[in-house]
A and B are shown apart, each in its own frame.
Chain A
Amino acid sequence: MIEEKFDAIVVGAGPSGNAAAYTMAREGLNVLQIERGEYSGSKNVQGAILYADALEKIIPDFREDAPLERHVIEQRMWMMDDKSHTGAHYRSEDFNEEKPNRYTILRAQFDKWFSSKVREAGALVLFETTVTELVKDLSGQVIGVRTDRQGSPIMANVVILAEGVNGLVGQRSGLRDEVSPDSVALAVKEMHFLPRETIEARFNLTGNEGVVIEAMGTITRGMTGTGFLYTNEESISVGIGCIVSDFAESDVTPNELLEAFKNHPSIKPLLAGSECKEYAAHLIPEGGYRAIPRLTGPGWIVVGDAGQFVNAVHREGSNLAMTTGRVAAETVVALTRKREPMTAAALKDYEKRLEQTFVMKDLKKYQGIPALLHARKGAFFGAYPRLVSQAMQTWFRVDGTDKKSKEQAIYRNFRETRTLWGMLGDAFNLVRAWR
């Protein structure tokens, strides 16, 4: 029997769980964190973008020892059809600042580093241990967790569920519904190793500068989704993801999409000669504001992907995860200091605090977009990219046709494929959803 009662138990050691455990432990709370992987990040191989601001609010001097790959100085947005891409690139020397704003990271290393900070802050961290269910008292108050290891349950005043997108513990304990297939994307990605000199030459980089490419278009074969490519120090992360319910309706597998994406004439030369070492598939919650489940209850709080906190339009996730983790922790710290019980009403304070952050503001702002993109996926991920490509080709190819005829041809092409009203409608809806 374990006599001890913890101030808080955190389920999961991803960015949200680490942020929560770190914040509470640093404030002197007796924190237990439980992660099913062999170490923090072990289930989360490969590259990602780290947004500095959210981490800075937790560990201000993280740049001193965090394993960062490259800071991003250039963003490429590509609209692709099967043979071409039309791109907008933004590159600025301003991003070569003293405290860069975005970095590429390898999650396995980054999470491990974050986890070591959690331990240094004084939290107890258990690995290779899966939380199987929440323990409740007769009144329904969550008072602890049970794990897959032999032995008794472990008690705590509050349980923070940072278990990631599936939210299985929450589900099994009846706190939430199953995640709906049309509000999660399945992303597959690979790491391709290349010597750093090759990467720097290929992407026009020096030192630790990095590039991000985000792509949409026919690469997802009409499904709602995007492709991406990031440069790491000695590797390139490349991946593609689409909404799960779209995959279910289509006969294309995620793997086939990725193979096709890698072999796209615009991507292939960037990866040439590389050695692929890792492949992973993972879910991303993309339902946005409308898919957010219940976030608090008696003795429990949900943070990170488990709460659907991802801004799919801007491809932000880990920053929302860290921010929600931190805010939840601050709520618990405040209640603990005041010796207040962790009732449903008291924990509501977490949601109030969240309203004041960019997390809720952004998700609210974009709440219409996921549904819109999904409803009009044929246009956004098929017709429009093709039209843009054709227009570009007509425009740039010099073949004796006069420019005026070219303009008309482009215009006609657009009108034939999409009625003017349909296009205006899409544009209008997109703007409205964006506002």
Chain B
Amino acid sequence: MAEEKKPAPPAAGGRANTKKELPEHFKAYKHVWVAVEIEHGQVHPVSYELLGEGRKLADKRGVELAAVVMGDDRASLEDAAVACFEYGADCVYLAQDPALAHYRNETATRVLTDIVNTYKPEILLLGATNLGRDLAGSVATTLLTGLTADCTELAIDEEGSLAATRPTFGGSLLCTIFTLNFRPQMATVRPRVLAMPEREAGRTGRIVEFAPGLVEDDIVTKVLDFIADRDSDKAQLPYADIVVAGGLGLGSAENFQLIRELAGVLGAEYGGSRPLVQKGWITSDRQIGQTGKTIRPKLYIAAGISGAIQHRVGVEGADVIVAINTDPNAPIFEFAHLGIVADAVTLLPALSQAFARRLRVNRLAS
């Protein structure tokens, strides 16, 4: 049979690790943590999304929710701590050090592993951003524990273990992964996969200071420069409220201009399916889907996109999905909220005009 078989384990001991037999020294590990991502004084929104989810996990476990904030600037760390409390944290571990000015794997790994080893969380969550994945991989290896990447769903099972669900094989399947016998249980989650929690103004908690004691001269990696994307024409897809995207159905690179025009009218971000990146019609930072960006806009308009599973997983969180496709049987109609069977190349210009007209009328009326 050509089916996927879990190969039989090699020697005695069997599949011992599929049962929960938590070693004694791990029993002290308690509480749910989120490693907060701060760059250039700004907290990445994914950290708040994780706090929202972490809150639920902590409540289910009857434990505390803590946030780890690391950086060099006192004021921004304190601001971040306040925000973390308001988004649900009970406690903030605050590590301030001049050497933490910019994210570097070396320093961040050292500090985060030290805090974990000192205060022992049972669950540690990070954003599946470039920073989060870079850090999570090193921390998990240093701690010799399990790490589940790019989760789409987190839950606590009956035994109190973290059940982390993630897509596999390009999104055609999902799997649920456990780290039963090691601590902490680590997972990363992509931006915009979890909902942004309500912010509860005035909510506070306790701050635990942690002195990293880093010495800049001992650190071999140096940050020489940072070229911000806002200085270049880089897409800001994950947090856009409206996204307009095109697929192969547009027929040609020239027709992609129609997507840009509609995006212009709506003040939206624009993107596309993977083949467009492969064909060079758009840059890779504008790819939406499994191996591109996950988006969660209020409105998503997809023109000439078939809606393959790998695309679907990246857009399902949108509040309203609108599909324009000539094929009434295209899979995108299975998960879109609104659809129209029409030729995108002729409909898009008309749609840009119709939107523009409507908004103009609204403005005159107000």
A234 within 8 A of B: yes
Per-residue contact bits, chain A 220-253, to B (CB 8 Å; 1 contact, 0 not): 0000000000000110000000000000000000
Tally inter-chain residue pairs, CB-CB below 8 A: 5
CB neighbors of B among A103-152 (8 A) = none
Identify the closest chain B residue to A67 (Cβ).
B2
The 5 closest A-B pairs by CB, nearest first: A234-B2, A233-B2, A196-B1, A233-B1, A234-B1
A234–B2 Cα gap in the complex (Å)?
A: 9
CB<8 Å pairs between A and B, sample of 5? A196-B1, A233-B1, A233-B2, A234-B1, A234-B2
A234–B1 Cα gap in the complex (Å)?
A: 9
Q: Please classify how large the interface on chain A is, using the bins under 10, 10 to 19, 20 to 34, 35 or more.
A: under 10
A196–B3 Cα gap in the complex (Å)?
A: 11
CB neighbors of A among B1-48 (8 A) = 1-2
A243–B1 Cα gap in the complex (Å)?
A: 37
Per-residue contact bits, chain A 190-216, to B (CB 8 Å; 1 contact, 0 not): 000000100000000000000000000
Binding site for A on B (CB under 8 A): 1-2
What's the least CB distance linking B204 to chain A, in Å? 56
A223–B318 Cα gap in the complex (Å)?
A: 52
Identify the closest chain A residue to B2 (Cβ).
A234
Which chain A residues border B2 with CB–CB below 8 Å? 233-234
A34–B101 Cα gap in the complex (Å)?
A: 57
A45–B1 Cα gap in the complex (Å)?
A: 19
Which chain A residues border B1 with CB–CB below 8 Å? 196, 233-234
A233–B2 Cα gap in the complex (Å)?
A: 9
Identify the closest chain B residue to A109 (Cβ).
B2
Identify the closest chain B residue to A233 (Cβ).
B2
A233–B1 Cα gap in the complex (Å)?
A: 8
What's the least CB distance linking B101 to chain A, in Å? 48
A151–B2 Cα gap in the complex (Å)?
A: 41
CB neighbors of B among A233-277 (8 A) = 233-234
Which chain B residues border A196 with CB–CB below 8 Å? 1
What's the least CB distance linking B262 to chain A, in Å? 34
Which chain B residues border A234 with CB–CB below 8 Å? 1-2
What's the least CB distance linking B331 to chain A, in Å? 13
A268–B295 Cα gap in the complex (Å)?
A: 41
A43–B2 Cα gap in the complex (Å)?
A: 22
Identify the closest chain A residue to B3 (Cβ).
A234
Identify the closest chain B residue to A196 (Cβ).
B1
A196–B1 Cα gap in the complex (Å)?
A: 9
A359–B1 Cα gap in the complex (Å)?
A: 35
CB neighbors of B among A60-113 (8 A) = none
What's the least CB distance linking B267 to chain A, in Å? 42
A411–B44 Cα gap in the complex (Å)?
A: 85
Which chain B residues border A233 with CB–CB below 8 Å? 1-2
What's the least CB distance linking A191 to chain B, in Å? 13
What's the least CB distance linking B255 to chain A, in Å? 26
Identify the closest chain B residue to A234 (Cβ).
B2
A196–B2 Cα gap in the complex (Å)?
A: 11
What's the least CB distance linking B225 to chain A, in Å? 39
A233–B3 Cα gap in the complex (Å)?
A: 12
What's the least CB distance linking A70 to chain B, in Å? 13
What's the least CB distance linking B172 to chain A, in Å? 12
A116–B333 Cα gap in the complex (Å)?
A: 45
CB neighbors of B among A315-369 (8 A) = none
A234–B4 Cα gap in the complex (Å)?
A: 14
What's the least CB distance linking B169 to chain A, in Å? 14
